[in-house]
Structure 1
């Protein structure tokens, strides 16, 4: 066998015919699942401050003088 025939046989073996779009659906589904999980994690942090409003109110009462003096331009 010559080098040319070996290359021809190798090219013939790797050549396949099929639906390339269907073969790549897995990548799209994986990306969708990952982004959906990240969206769920992001949305799980909504309204976290209001879940502990009693702590925020207690902190505001305890540090009322500090909060009034702080800020931009004061």
Structure 2
């Protein structure tokens, strides 16, 4: 007996209990909650670089020679 009929017989013996999605409705709900939380964390870091513009300007002025020397920043 090959593998495919063995799988078919095992599935037949298990006896399907109907729609699997109705039994596992909470999987997409958990995924939605997790991705929503990750989206909120991601959005909380929005515009962080502009919160301290004075510090950024002072750093750029102080290190302008270093930035001009490298050319591409790497």
Query: Given the two structures, how large is their TM-score scaled by the length of structure 2?
Result: 0.65
Q: Flag the structure with more relative contact order, 1 or 2, with Cα contacts below 8 A and sequence separation at least 6.
A: 1
CA deviations over 1:18-37 (Å, ceiling 9, x no partner): 65322211111001100111
Asked which structure has the greater CA Rg, the reply is 1
In 2, Cα distance between equivalents of 1:16 and 1:70: 66
SS of equivalent to 2:28: helix
Unpaired stretches in structure 1, ≥5 consecutive residues: 1-10
Query: Given the two structures, how large is their TM-score scaled by the length of structure 1?
Result: 0.65
What is aligned with 1:64?
Answer: 64
What is aligned with 2:45?
Answer: 45
